[in-house]
Chain A
């Protein structure tokens, strides 16, 4: 036994969580109960290890504690069902020594991810379950990150597990035919977790930034197991290339700093280098999907030492490819911005007009915000102010609303200029 600082133990527990859970699920064949048991074992470890020292075999310790919980659970279940026969079988199973083979622990993590990111689950359920079952976070940590009561989050997780149980998904890798589709669902959930952490500018900041780290960590594991899927590498590159700007993205009080005004010396050079290497390795290897394209756009931004050095022509070309791949109004919006940077604001404004009739975006503040920026670029001060204010009134984020109000106010106080 030796003593460890709490953060080391926390990291260790997160690494061990999916391995332990897989073992316990295999042993007891009950995902929902096993997941609860492992969560209890992790909480016990987080309380005991810093005090008593880390056990010599942390993995075995967790399995033992979780199995004991499972045994209690089974006994009460069995008592409820009056099935003595099962008791004998289960006790025999409990007596089994720790599973010797742990060499496929990363495969197990992947199996768990496929389960937790099942398309039958709503995104909030899949996110919560993934963070707990695969990420090894506690219910209270996740609840605090999403600013909901712990009981609400626990209930969300338990409902997600019920959905999984009802869908009858076996605890194994999906079939070859299903695999690509299921992997896309996994990547989407990881992307959402990353965004939850990255997009946050207020609230318990540290906890939320943790979500980005967690998403990167889990995507690294998937990338290692799926080396031939270049979209996994693309997603990992996108996360690294975006996360590299985290320190520059918000001011000391959590206010938003747009890309053009960020202090680029605060960007994380190592993360950028890693993202670029992943991307340049992935791009020539197969079909280029949306994550690789988004990563490529992030890379072009990251490679510009000053905002004015940004290669907008290349960004525009990348958005054109992305637009062909997906009918997402957000892409059209960003494409219009790139077009404005290359061909002038009038061109950008022209590209925005079809979005007015797009029900998905018609009342979205971002359309107003982009239009306001382009009108400002075009020197149409009055219209820009109006659109900044409309955008602010529709914004769902306090930091963003403050930013948009400030833009309108600044513009309103600028003396008229002649272009």
Chain B
């Protein structure tokens, strides 16, 4: 089963992150690289992307004529997606374990940042095993 592991943060988190020391940043970047490599070696990696900063974010809605109307002023409290991993594992527990590893990424002074990771299942294109109503 595939799961998406989403790392989110508020604008305040980004502001804080931008002030990290060189050493903290290097440690964090190295961790992220190693982590992705580990997922590949474990045979569970599907995809990963990091996203641009929230100050670049725009919310788009279609106007009357279908033309885009963009909005870029967001409340301080809003959570933004920072990046994600998609993994293919046997059960949700395996996905939670991987999410916990990501959450423990080194933060200030190398201490685990314990950043929250939202885990959601990616829907499969096919039905589960077993006979259903018998055979649906």
Residues of A within 8 A of B (CB): 122-125, 146-149, 151-153, 155-156, 158-159, 192, 195-196, 199-203, 208, 242, 245, 254, 256, 258-259, 294, 297-298, 301, 315, 330, 334, 337-338, 366, 369-370, 373, 395-401, 403
Among A196, A294, A369, contact of B131 (Cβ-Cβ < 8 Å) = A294
In the complex, residue of chain B having the shortest beta-carbon distance to the beta carbon of A205: B125
Contacts of B131 in A (CB 8 A): 294, 297, 330, 334
Contacts of A147 in B (CB 8 A): 2, 46, 125
- Choose among B90, B130, B131 the residue with the greatest number of A CB atoms under 10 Å from its CB: B131
Cβ-defined contact, A195 with B129, below 8 A: yes
Among B43, B132, B134, contact of A315 (Cβ-Cβ < 8 Å) = B134
In the complex, residue of chain B having the shortest beta-carbon distance to the beta carbon of A298: B135
Contacts of A123 in B (CB 8 A): 90
Query: How many whole Å from A152's CB to the nearest CB in chain B?
Result: 5
Contacts of A152 in B (CB 8 A): 40, 43-46, 88
Check A203/B125 contact, CB under 8 A, given A152-B45, A297-B134.
yes
* Contacts A147-B125, A148-B46, A400-B127 known; 17 new A-B pairs at CB < 8 A: A125-B43, A148-B88, A149-B45, A149-B46, A152-B88, A159-B43, A199-B126, A254-B125, A259-B135, A259-B136, A298-B135, A330-B131, A334-B131, A366-B130, A369-B132, A399-B125, A400-B136
B42 at the interface (CB under 8 A from A): yes
B128 at the interface (CB under 8 A from A): yes
Contacts of B41 in A (CB 8 A): 155
Chain A: interface secondary structure? helix
Cβ-defined contact, A155 with B126, below 8 A: no
Contacts of A200 in B (CB 8 A): 125-126
CA distance A196 to B129 in the complex (A): 8
Cβ-defined contact, B134 with A155, below 8 A: no
Contacts of A338 in B (CB 8 A): 134
Cβ-defined contact, B128 with A155, below 8 A: no
Contacts of B127 in A (CB 8 A): 199, 201, 256, 397, 399-400
Among A155, A254, A256, A398, contact of B124 (Cβ-Cβ < 8 Å) = A398
Query: How many whole Å from B2's CB to the nearest CB in chain A?
Result: 8
Cβ-defined contact, B129 with A370, below 8 A: no
A and B contact pairs by CB, cutoff 8 A, 13 listed? A124-B88, A151-B45, A152-B40, A152-B44, A196-B126, A201-B126, A256-B136, A258-B136, A330-B131, A334-B133, A369-B132, A396-B124, A403-B136
Cβ-defined contact, B126 with A208, below 8 A: yes
CA distance A203 to B123 in the complex (A): 11
CA distance A296 to B37 in the complex (A): 48
Cβ-defined contact, B43 with A155, below 8 A: yes
Cβ-defined contact, B123 with A153, below 8 A: no
B30 at the interface (CB under 8 A from A): no
Lowest 3 A-B CB distances belong to which pairs? A202-B125, A156-B43, A200-B126
